[in-house]
């Protein structure tokens, strides 16, 4: 029987059974397919080196970032299935390729695909299938864009090319055949990327000017050339310019077919013959290609991959199966000249700068040698003689700084840049932390005779109910001068308020206010607010409109200093200055010899302090 192999002995009934054996054909253990995960049964057969037998199947699923497709890249399919055929070979039932999935944001390797399939694989992947964002729905880099950063874990980031170089190549091509424009375009792109050391997707072919090269025939999406079909079936074609043409014959299925069937019932057999290549399904939808093995009802050489309903189109795609190519002539029977205009886009200056590309293009002798090697070793034009006649003058377009890597770290450069920033900043802090506070102390603080500490009863009642002005009135006519003076006098003004209250000595307040400024400068607003909000809370408690709890910092004060510290400083200064202004002068006490308002110089003058109160002590 088909698919079974028996002994040479004829089968005959002998006592308790048949003499002689019929065993299913063996196809060997399931093969390893790159970037797939085998199911449990297939994995067990691989591990134990068990042969698959006739009609047994090995099943695989593609790894993350891949999808299963046929050799002609139709699909996608749910999985890969290989079936042991009657001739002892593994036949493809589904698949058998795992190709990178377009639009998932992962750039997966294509080292397991041949050159033609690699060319059809994704060139970029930005995680979507939108057009106009630099990466097309077919995962090809769009004209005028560059894509960088994509790998097996991250999506590409595409943007408009900020800088690029335009140039041209004039080439002479001779041999036993003439390539198509499309073949020249693909080969030149590969050769230029290898010669310049850039990624192939950064080379854009703008135009090809020639007199006698044919354009490739445009086919519908999903169509394939005879060469592709022949390669998928292990054959060669007589010419790489042959393109599949449809409408040689067409019919519709008169009955539905299932995956695995090889017989097709069609309404008309007119125009179909043995050896014809037919397409089952619509070109714009799911479809597949097969070869007719016999007619009457159409019998296919290989089983169907998918199921199709009645009425599905069956179209003849070629008149006959391509025949093996004849030997190539060693003489140059064909010759042409081609001018290829191209653009090299700079996507990552750290790896390849605009200066490196320009230097290579301006040295034709080196470039021509690299191109000859690349055309010979890496492209489909290796059977032809390619000679680069001239290289056009490169034209740089864009901002040069975008095409050059950042300069390496230099300590001297760093110090020079730091000085430009830190020099003025240090001068400013020295001014507001030393120069201005000293002048402020000389003019106002040194002659101060008394503070508010211990003199609450002498304070005017209007200052005991609430702040004498709203916190948002800092830019009002009365407070505008104080607010503007904070540009240079902020630490001095804050220290003046605390000194007037008797909360901190003037110079201690200057240092604390300067530290608070540093916190705000470096973005640590909560830290700066916490440092000064406690003194605001103490003021409110002193004047009688706080919470009255000793040492408690109120949340409203922290919020005020976090949102608008200048408003708080102006409000406190206005309130304290007003209270000090209307405070009655103290009575001189001739019996108490304390340090007066001479700035702590230790002079033996009589101090002006309220009677019945201890000498002023700062805490």
**Which of helix, strand or coil describes residue 597?**
coil
pLDDT in the model for residue 599: 40
pLDDT in the model for residue 13: 53
Region of poorest pLDDT, from 116-125, 259-268, 389-398, 432-441: 116-125
512, containing H or E segment: helix 506-521
Q: Count other Cβ atoms within 10 Å, centred on residue 277.
A: 22
Q: Are 565 and 532 in contact (CB under 8 A)?
A: yes
Asked if the model's pLDDT at residue 413 lies above 90, the reply is no
Q: What is the mean pLDDT of the chain?
A: 79
Instruction: Please compute the mean of the pLDDT values over residues 101-110 and round it to a whole number.
Output: 86
Q: Two tokens at 211?
A: 């007199």
Asked if the model's pLDDT at residue 541 lies above 80, the reply is yes
Q: Are 173 and 336 in contact (CB under 8 A)?
A: yes
- Measured CA angle at 186 (ends 181, 192), to 5 deg: 120
Instruction: Please compute the mean of the pLDDT values over residues 547-558 and round it to a whole number.
Output: 85
Q: How confident is the model at residue 281 (pLDDT cuts 50, 70, 90)?
A: confident
Residue 597 neighbours by CB under 8 Å, 6+ apart: 446, 447, 448, 449, 450, 607
- Measured CA angle at 441 (ends 436, 445), to 5 deg: 145
Q: How confident is the model at residue 593 (pLDDT cuts 50, 70, 90)?
A: very low
Asked if the model's pLDDT at residue 143 lies above 70, the reply is yes
Asked if the model's pLDDT at residue 420 lies above 80, the reply is yes
pLDDT in the model for residue 219: 40
Q: Express each pLDDT in 152-161 by its tens digit.
A: 888 989 999 8
Q: How confident is the model at residue 499 (pLDDT cuts 50, 70, 90)?
A: very high
Asked if the model's pLDDT at residue 121 lies above 70, the reply is yes
| Of 405 and 589, the one with more pLDDT | 405
Of these ranges, 13-22, 162-171, 308-317, the one predicted with the greatest mean pLDDT is: 162-171
119, containing H or E segment: helix 115-120
Q: How confident is the model at residue 587 (pLDDT cuts 50, 70, 90)?
A: low
User: Virtual CA dihedral for 287, 291, 294, 298, nearest 10 degrees?
Assistant: 10
DSSP assignment letter at 473: G
**Which of helix, strand or coil describes residue 378?**
helix
Instruction: Please compute the mean of the pLDDT values over residues 327-331 and round it to a whole number.
Output: 54
Using alpha carbons, select from 506, 496, 520 the residue that is nearest to residue 429.
520
Using alpha carbons, select from 250, 261, 265 the residue that is nearest to residue 305.
261
Q: What sign results for the dihedral spanned by CA atoms 497, 503, 508, 514? A: negative
Across 490-514, b (16+ Cβ under 10 Å) vs e yields bbbbbbbbbbbbbbbbbbebbebbb
Asked if the model's pLDDT at residue 109 lies above 80, the reply is yes
Q: How confident is the model at residue 596 (pLDDT cuts 50, 70, 90)?
A: very low
C-alpha 92/C-alpha 255 separation (Å) is 24
Residue with tokens 């490196």: 356
**Which of helix, strand or coil describes residue 84?**
strand
Asked if the model's pLDDT at residue 550 lies above 90, the reply is no
C-alpha 431/C-alpha 423 separation (Å) is 12
pLDDT in the model for residue 312: 87
pLDDT in the model for residue 436: 92
Domain ranges for the chain: 4-100, 419-581
pLDDT in the model for residue 606: 31
Using alpha carbons, select from 535, 542, 543, 538 the residue that is nearest to residue 465.
543
pLDDT in the model for residue 1: 55
Asked if the model's pLDDT at residue 70 lies above 50, the reply is yes
Chain-centroid distance, C-alpha 289 = 38
Chain-centroid distance, C-alpha 144 = 18
pLDDT in the model for residue 167: 93
For the stretch 309-312, contacts whose Cβ atoms lie closer than 8 Å and that sit 24 or more positions apart, written own/partner, are 309/253, 309/256, 310/252, 310/253, 310/254, 310/255, 310/256, 311/252, 311/253, 312/252, 312/253, 312/280, 312/281, 312/282
Q: How confident is the model at residue 408 (pLDDT cuts 50, 70, 90)?
A: confident
Region of poorest pLDDT, from 66-70, 93-97, 533-537: 93-97
Chain-centroid distance, C-alpha 17 = 70
Asked if the model's pLDDT at residue 6 lies above 90, the reply is no
Share of the chain above pLDDT 70, in %: 80
Asked if the model's pLDDT at residue 464 lies above 90, the reply is no
Q: Two tokens at 420?
A: 């430009």
């Amino acid at each position: 029987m088909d698919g079974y192999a028996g002994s040479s002995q004829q089968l005959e009934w002998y006592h308790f059974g048949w003499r002689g054996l019929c065993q299913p054909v063996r196809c060997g253990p399931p093969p390893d397919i790159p970037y797939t995960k085998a199911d449990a049964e297939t994995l067990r057969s691989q591990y134990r080196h068990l042969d698959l037998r006739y009609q047994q199947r090995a099943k695989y699923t593609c790894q993350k970032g891949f999808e299963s497709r046929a050799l002609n890249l139709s699909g996608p399919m749910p999985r890969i299935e290989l079936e042991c055929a009657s001739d002892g070979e593994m036949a493809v039932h589904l698949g058998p390729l795992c190709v990178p999935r377009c639009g998932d944001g992962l750039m997966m390797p294509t080292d397991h695909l041949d050159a033609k399939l690699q060319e059809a694989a994704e060139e970029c992947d930005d995680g979507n299938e939108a057009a106009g964002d630099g990466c097309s729905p077919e995962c090809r880099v769009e004209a005028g864009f560059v894509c960088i950063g994509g790998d097996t874990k991250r999506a590409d980031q595409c943007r408009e090319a900020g800088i690029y170089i335009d140039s041209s190549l004039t080439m002479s091509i001779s041999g036993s055949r003439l390539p198509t424009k499309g073949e020249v375009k693909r080969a030149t792109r590969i050769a230029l990327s290898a010669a310049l050391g850039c990624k192939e997707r950064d080379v854009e072919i703008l135009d090809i000017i020639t007199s006698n090269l044919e354009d490739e025939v445009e086919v519908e999406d999903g169509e394939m050339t005879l060469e592709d079909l022949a390669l998928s079936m292990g054959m060669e074609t007589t010419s790489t310019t042959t393109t599949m043409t449809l409408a040689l014959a067409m019919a519709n299925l008169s009955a539905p077919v299932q995956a695995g069937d090889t017989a097709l019932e069609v309404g008309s057999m007119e125009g179909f013959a043995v050896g014809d290549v037919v397409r089952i399904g619509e070109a714009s939808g799911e479809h597949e290609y097969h070869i007719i093995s016999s007619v009457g009802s159409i019998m296919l050489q290989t089983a169907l991959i998918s199921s199709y309903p009645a009425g599905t189109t069956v179209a003849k795609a070629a008149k006959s199966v391509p025949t093996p190519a004849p030997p190539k002539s060693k003489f140059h029977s064909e010759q042409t000249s081609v001018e290829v205009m191209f653009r090299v886009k700079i996507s990552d200056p750290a790896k390849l700068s605009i200066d490196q590309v320009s230097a290579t293009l301006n040295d034709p002798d080196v470039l021509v040698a690299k191109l000859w090697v690349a055309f010979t070793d890496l492209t489909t034009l290796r059977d032809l003689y390619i000679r680069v006649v001239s290289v056009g003058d490169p034209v740089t377009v864009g901002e040069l700084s975008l095409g050059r890597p950042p300069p390496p770290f230099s300590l001297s450069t760093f110090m020079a840049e730091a000085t430009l920033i830190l020099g003025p900043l240090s001068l400013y802090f020295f001014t507001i932390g030393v120069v201005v506070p000293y002048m402020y102390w000389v003019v106002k603080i040194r002659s101060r005779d008394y503070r508010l500490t211990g003199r609450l009863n002498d304070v005017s009642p209007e200052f005991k109910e609430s702040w004498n002005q709203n916190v948002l009135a800092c830019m009002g006519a009365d407070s505008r001068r104080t607010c503007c003076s904070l540009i240079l006098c902020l630490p001095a003004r804050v220290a003046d308020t605390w000194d007037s209250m008797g909360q901190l000595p003037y110079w201690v307040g200057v240092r604390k206010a300067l530290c608070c400024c540093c916190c705000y400068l470096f973005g640590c607003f909560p830290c700066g607010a916490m440092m000064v909000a406690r003194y605001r809370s103490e003021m409110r408690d002193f004047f009688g409109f706080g919470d009255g709890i000793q040492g408690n910092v109120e949340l409203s004060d922290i919020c005020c200093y976090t949102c608008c510290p200048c408003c708080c400083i102006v409000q406190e200064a206005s309130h304290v200055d007003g209270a000090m202004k209307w405070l009655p002068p103290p009575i001189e006490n001739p019996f108490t010899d304390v340090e007066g308002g001479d700035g702590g110089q230790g002079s033996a003058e009589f101090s002006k302090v309220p009677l019945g109160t201890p000498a002023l002590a700062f805490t």
